[in-house]
Structure 1
Amino acid sequence: MKKWLFCLAAVSLFLFSACKKDNATDNGGDEPAADVKLTDAVLAQGLSFPWEILYGPDNMLWITERSGKISRVNPSTGAVMPVITLSDVVSQGEGGLLGMVLHPDFATTPEVFVAYNYNKSGVYTKKVVKFTYNGSTLVNPVVLIDNIPAASTHNGTRLAISPDKKLFITSGDAATASRAQDQNNTAGKIQRINLDGTIPADNPNQGSSLWSYGHRNPQGLVFVGDKLYSSEHGNTTDDEVNIILKGRNYGWPNVEGLCSTGSEPGFCNINNVVEPIFAWTPTIAPSGVDYYNSDAIPQWKNSLLLAVLKDSELLQLKLNAAGDKVEVVNTFYKSAYGRMRDVAVSPAGEVFIITSNGNNDKIIKVAKE
């Protein structure tokens, strides 16, 4: 009953906010006079299944495409400048070249971290590789972590670097649900390593990259201060947004959403399961997420911006002051551009969204009028 009521409330909140025009804004009733009008436009097109978009310290957009291509994009003109195509990437179903993040001290340490699928002795596998950007291309590859199970679905694979410069990696269950609860298997996990690939001494399990487990398909990851948020695909119910905590279990496949149905409460009590801060039933297929806190669009301040695939939209998840609850959900650009895979926010408060339609995919730029 608890889960049913939670899902009903989430759907009601979602439907209430979804019936807005594409450029409608709502800040949850706080100072409506401060709202600004938004404009959206296609910045670049002709892409093929882009996965990652981020705003780099070099003031350029960086994107990956599943086929193996990494590019830089001018955020003003939309000019796409190829950086490299990784020859050993194998794109199979939803797999291929996926997550990417740049070193936070990129000006002095121009390192680029990427995660991708490849064939290792005939076995589809994921690895994370660190490259150096020499001003035109990527050189000096160093494999940081390897042998992560991969599949044509449920790869997860977002990367984020924490304020204390640890690399976090999401991995789905690679289409085998039981892997998620097996702490000796790297599928269905969020992993944490040092930027040189070594294992931090303060990880939950000595000598292991595991940070959290019980994940099905986490496709979004963002730090807000030292708080780590992840978006995750559910099965037939309960897509989730979670706050990721050290050593904790997120339930899959034994728990979907809240610990409230059948054997779930007992499993949660025994296994230290963390419940999501928000969940959707019916599922919406949440993907990449970024944090917005710029004065440029004041009604979006202190919000997670979530790219959504199945429901083809951008969601604003307005957080409470503590950042541990979603207070308001607002919907933008529903069905205007098709499936949305990832979102990035610039220091100036502009928002960039990539689509995932597989045919002439685009970068959409959103800003105040």
Structure 2
Amino acid sequence: MLSACRKDDDNDPATPPDEDWPSDSIRVLRSNLNFPWEILWGKDDHIWMTERAGKVSKINPETGATVFSHTITDVVSNGEGGLLGMVQHPDFSSNGYLYVVYNYNSPSGYREKVVRFTAQNNTLTAPFTLIDSIPAAGIHNGSRLLIAGDKLFITTGDANASARSQNTSVVNGKVLRLNLDGTVPADNPIAGNPYWSLGHRNAQGLVMVNNKLYASEHGAGVEDELNIIEKGRNYGWPRVEGPCNGSETSFCSENNVKGPIWSTGNVTLATCGLDYYNNDRIPAWKNSLLLTTLKDATLYRFALSADGNSVSAPQKYFDGTWGRLRDICVSPAGRVYLCTSNGNNGDKLVEISRLD
């Protein structure tokens, strides 16, 4: 079975037969999109995409044609909020379960929820809410989803209230971990609590590689980060930015803080979508994390060490070529897909088949 963009925990490096369509090294597969947020290679061998205003689309990866689209009517797009992350159930081919996270209006204000739909007959039906009433804002909503084994991981932002990130009684500023039915796993750090790690500002990239969970995170004005997410660990925000140093060290030692494996220092790039590449199609990218950036409008490649605990200095690709880069996914045959985040119905879905 073909895996979903390798954002799940299937990192088998075997290369399936190549898809049979023109092999231009780089081509724009779709244009005139409006703030796409998530792209994934579905278990049905199509690209699935969310757009922030509420649309889920299934796209033919050979032609770029839309097979179907469905608009989730209670999505409310406000600033950076709207319809954001998406992931397919491991048994999607048989049950059609599609998980999405989005913002909506409630009597208590702007909120976020994770909902499971059933994809069938070219539409989405039977919405089932796993978790809701998460405080949201026009910025810092996290919202990347990942399924590893039988667990669902969810990144939440601090929703522009940084103190939430250190408070385990609220779900903001965390990586959450749920069973696929929305219940809380018995082995989470706190019984009955969905939190898996805390101290996050706005993590918007998530990928599992060889049982290690990597996340990319936006810094406030310095120190975007790449982190390895571990059970119960604290990632510092708002008390720590980037590696623990200076006045931060006492907080780090007292609060089980884990530092990043890479950070940007005294600048930010607006790090976003994250995926793993390990295919012979582009040999220079094998065993690497690929990271999109919004402000820097560049794709970054980080070679992983043999044990996965560190990365090389990054290499930059496509600097400014298409503008702001929101997300990335990889097909089982090693084609890389990027989506932009420029707005005004000017966004693109780009396919990279070779580096010439």
Please, what TM-score do these two structures have when normalized by structure 1? Answer: 0.88
2:96 aligns with 110
2:287 paired with 1:306? no
Q: Distance in 2 between matches of 1:106 and 1:135?
A: 14
2:55 aligns with 69
Superposition deviation, residue 149 in structure 1: 1.1
The residue type paired with residue 352 of structure 1 is Y
1:166 aligns with 151
1:272 aligns with 256
Matches within 5 A, 1:229-268: 229-262=214-247, 264-268=248-252
1:93 aligns with 79
Q: Distance in 1 between matches of 2:256 and 2:47?
A: 39
Deviations 1:189-235 (A, max 9, x none): 00000000111000000000000000000010111131110000011
RMSD: 1.2
Q: Distance in 2 between matches of 1:81 and 1:332?
A: 31
Secondary structure (helix, strand or coil) at the match of 1:299 reads: helix
Secondary structure (helix, strand or coil) at the match of 2:291 reads: strand
1:318 aligns with 303
Where structure 1 has 5 or more consecutive residues not aligned to the other structure, the ranges are 1-36
Contact 1:292 1:349 in 2 (8 A): yes
Secondary structure (helix, strand or coil) at the match of 2:45 reads: coil
Superposition deviation, residue 38 in structure 1: 8.7
1:145 aligns with 131
Q: Identity across aligned pairs (percent)?
A: 53
Of 180, 199, 210, 1:214 maps to 199
Q: Distance in 2 between matches of 1:322 and 1:113?
A: 31
Deviations 1:84-120 (A, max 9, x none): 1000000000000000000112111210000000001
Secondary structure (helix, strand or coil) at the match of 1:327 reads: coil
1:82 aligns with 68
Please, what TM-score do these two structures have when normalized by structure 2? Answer: 0.91
Residues 316 and 38 of structure 1: is their aligned pair in 2 closer, same or farther, counting only changes over 3 Å?
farther
Superposition deviation, residue 328 in structure 1: 3.3
Of 334, 348, 358, 2:333 maps to 348
Deviations 1:312-348 (A, max 9, x none): 0111111111111111311111111000000000000
Length, aligned pairs only? 331
Where structure 2 has 5 or more consecutive residues not aligned to the other structure, the ranges are 1-22
2:8 aligns with none
Q: Distance in 2 between matches of 1:278 and 1:74?
A: 36
1:154 aligns with 140
